[in-house]
Structure 1
Amino acid sequence: MTEQEKHKKELRARAMRLPLSPGVYLMHDKTGKIIYVGKAKALKNRVSQYFGSEKNHDDKVRRMVASVDTFEYILTDSEFEALVLECSLIKQYSPKYNILLKDDKGYHYIRVSSGPWPKISEAKQVADDGAEYIGPYVSSWSVKQSVDEALKIFRLPSCTRKFPQDIGKGRPCLNFYIKQCCAPCRGKISESEYREYVSEALEFLRGGSAKSVRALTERMDEAAENLEYERAARLRDRIAAIRKMSDRQKVVASRVKEQDVIALTQGTEKSCFEVFRFQNGRLCDRETFLMGETGKAKEARSEFLERYYSMRDRIPPRVSLDGPAENAELLSQWLTEKAGRKVTITVPQKGEQAQLVEMCRSNAAEQLAQKTGRTGREASALDELARLLGLPEPPAYIESYDISNLAGGENVAGMVVFENGRPLRSAYRKFKIRTVVGQDDYASMREVLSRRLEEYEKNRESGEGFGRLPDLILLDGGKGQISAVRPVLEEAGLPIPLFGMVKDDRHRTRAIAKDGGEIAISSNRSAFTLVSSIQEEVHRFAVGYHRQVRKKNSISSSLTAVEGIGPARAKALLKHFRTVAAVRNATTEELSAAPGMTKPAARKVYSAFHPEEPARTD
């Protein structure tokens, strides 16, 4: 037993002496630094789990436990008190293995530059530059969105050109041609007209779209009465642009007036939380939090809610999540007390709310994809597949198997590997079935998985190739294949998730098979595309290998049918001449010069291919 194992055993023995009471525990490393703070309903049960079997621990917990030198604990009167104390201690110590969020919520402003041709832009702070600053606003996202909307609606420039000195210099940019800029650089708009545009835009930014529409409508009616038809038409276009922009925003509108929508996407090394904040039924802010490994999704959501709302004063009456959170009722009680009114935590399953959650999750996947170099679709597919199959985290390394034979002949199997949602062809493997005679796909699959796990035991120290265990195994087949292979994994003591891929009558992926039933995947587009790709790839690979073996066997059999030519000589001839056609066209002298051949054997081979001719020697 190593020193580390002895120490872990001592820590477990100490944990087993803890009381079955609620409280907070603090893990310390060798330097005495607090590296993790957690809460528990029963301290003995929770803390002892860390120092027991590692089978149910994710990588993050394993690394944390390996760094623990000692721990301390604080008893509380209730689990709720433990939650409040945990939040306070995490804020105080910022432990390495807790989810820590950077609170970068500063103030933001709308800047209106000085001069005869003012420009509207966003700013992070007020500068002493003579410009007008509107604000402050808490959300940088809402400031940016509002400024972008105002510039597009009122066709104001967003370029770096300065007026009036740049008027008439160079051609207008693309925004002018797509009717999103009045292009003062062309010199076709007067200073007074431009300032009127800016004034309308600022009115829109200060008062909102509804108030702006009312004011513009009054001006339009007044212009029409005064027979100023061009001005009335321009104001009409402004009103139409504002309403069009409002219609676009309805895509991310909610019937629930005030709520936060929070979604998680997990990768192999990084994770991302996305927060959509709604006020008055409209998306008013969004925040993205990229972080390292977060462990199991259920626990990660719970920890994120604690950290996030410890940093925020505004707590909405409703928080919609993309999946279950650990201790959701306890968190709801904590948020209710913090907000001074009822706060509900929900996991929407259908309708508008479920669509908003999915949109939030898709944005999290896209942000994570940009950080990790994957596509948003790949990140989303793995995350979606993990949810469907009930996996604790997305499967970074997937192995898939298929059997191929013709009426039991040339029985082979193919193994393909997908890493991070992409084929890893260097890890593909081929198997010739050795122990099964005839057509028995179940027995063949058992043999293949048994041999694969045997190779794992031989190569586990390397951690590469067969020395690496998959996060998920997908078999090309249904419940029968799973039932046949499950005992192999159980006997090896390896809790690898195992599922089957079921095809419809047209040989297209229909569902995922599990013990006792099936999981429909057609409505989950990203996961469906990934599983379909895996099933098609493993089938192609296995069938390709089967055809290769059949062709080789048929070629070898044509040579071994010759008297005096056994498998060894047939193999040597094929290796020397490359093809059967080359063997057929060779002279007896050329045949006898091949490795392992004699002149009598060469004459027999020549005669077999040329029965009506005398043996050629040149």
Structure 2
Amino acid sequence: MADPATYRPAPGSIPTDPGVYRFRDAHGRVIYVGKAKSLRSRLSSYFQDISGLHPRTARMVRTGASVEWTVVSTEVEALQLEYAWIKEFDPRFNVKYRDDKSYPYLAVTMSEEFPRAMVMRGSKRKGTRYFGPYTHAWAIRETLDLLLRVFPVRTCSNGVFRRAQQVGRPCLLGYIDKCSAPCVGRVDPDEHRAIAEELCDFMAGSSDRFVRRLQARMREASAELDFEAAARLRDDIGALTKALEKSAVVLPDGTDADVFALADDELEVAIQVFHVRGGRIRGQRGWVAEKDAETLPEVVAHLLQRVYGEEEVPREVLVPVLPDDPDAMTQWLRTRRGSHADLRVPQRGDKRALMETVERNATQALARHKVARAGDLTARSQALHDVQEALGLDDAPLRIECFDISHIQGQEVVGSMVVFEDGLPRKSEYRRFVVRGDVDGRTDDTAAMHEVLTRRLRHLVSVDEHGGDRPGIDDETGRPRRFAYPPNLVVVDGGAPQVAAAQAVVDRLGIEDVALVGLAKRLEELWLPGEEHPVILPRSSEGLYLLQRVRDEAHRFAITFHRQRRSKAMTVSALDSVPGLGQTRKAALLGRFGSVKRIRAASVEELAEVPGIGPATAARIAAELGAQAPEPAVDPRTGEVLDDAPAPVAGADAGAAAEQVPIPEQEDAR
């Protein structure tokens, strides 16, 4: 830990203008990003008596080794720059103030010719309308299943849609009238788009209008004695009503708002948010985050910045207290939304009643979390202390890296590296390795471990060679170099042979400040380099439990990567035999023709029209695919092979040959 006085800026050197500042550690890594109306006032507060700082802030100041700042002209610019830097550097002392889950949305892809309704997670795409978020994906599917009776928009993937177009038959949903079947031309693109727009209007809050319209049509059908049509409309009304019952009406129709509530103590804050769309609660989320601010207004400012930096801003944002500069925050929200947005504290009426409900949820969530937290913080500290004592380290290993190898009989050998900081996984720094097997020509576990550790640890040597004040930072880009930050402890999955391989790498590279240990699965013993006997930790040891978690995470990460590569290797296509044809060109060919069979039937000129496929490559494709056994012609009605059908010919005559195949007449699907 550094003494803050060693890097405190000289008096008078800090400007009084608004700006954004960054703290860096001894390796040059950005550990904290903040903003201030007055940089001098804010930064000076960090270098006062440390005992008066928040515990998390005090730890950050001791970890830091330098501070730098950038002056901006307005508070809005400071908000934008602060968010950009937090997203770029992911500082360890900046609290995320949002959960790490990806919540599902009901998405309607209005940018496609035939819009599709589906469950979607992750970043939002342009031209797609989103409704939610929902807590569970099954809730979206249940709601969508009810709505498809009234709004039969397509829900199939593009691949299923194209196959249905090719065979001329819809899928099951088309037969049971839960899809308008645009794939076979039952509706044209304009009619299908109108159905999708009605679904979006219904989900956006115009629900009563559709129910009233269906009720009027049901009465008309009943008056005309068309009781079958009236019964169908009655069932449609029931489906809409059931879908509406899943979300309670809490605010006037048409209200779009996010309602936040907080419950905090000295260390953490519980956050709850209700998403109201069209006056109905469409989703609810809650999470607990560490607290890095003294007051709730500061917490609210950080919360809004992190949540709406990655999510859509509604028309109203209701919070328990306003941030310190509500006008700047409101203006920033409006720039993120692209239109008007209100930030306020509800004082009375339905919105205040809803806020109280959200606050009760936050209070209960914090109470539940305290019960679990009481043991968690103590267990993490005890675990690091146990590892330090067992391995004889000078300090607790705050950064642990674990390596594992996965393969089947020497095939598809891969390695994994997982990182734990302060006893918690840091998944953004996980790495995967494809083992090349270039160590003495062997591909066993020890040789693979030797190669993986060499490829990782040699970066520590290259970082040291750069020298300077920030050896881990690229001077041109200002970003960390690859594998710039050294581990305090390296854990390998295995016993004495794997540890010996790791120690050989460390000795060859001349690295002295990295501890090594191996964790063997059989008896869960710890193997240290050069030791004849292992270290045995008690089964109840928190340190052993931490190392097991690290080892198991590395094993999971490695075997997942191995399975991906093994599955990819087992997926063999006829295009794989064409020399010089990579994944991009294969995708372009399949996107143009739809299948290998159609590629085989295409002429050289047609192949050459595909982007990235020149005449020479087109000729190779035609030659390779023509040399392979062609697929037999099949009767589309019975599935029987047509023995008397001539085989398709690759090359320029493929189209003519295909025309000679007798195609039986299709029966009416109805």
TM norm structure 1: 0.43
Which structure has the larger Rg over C-alpha atoms? Answer: 1
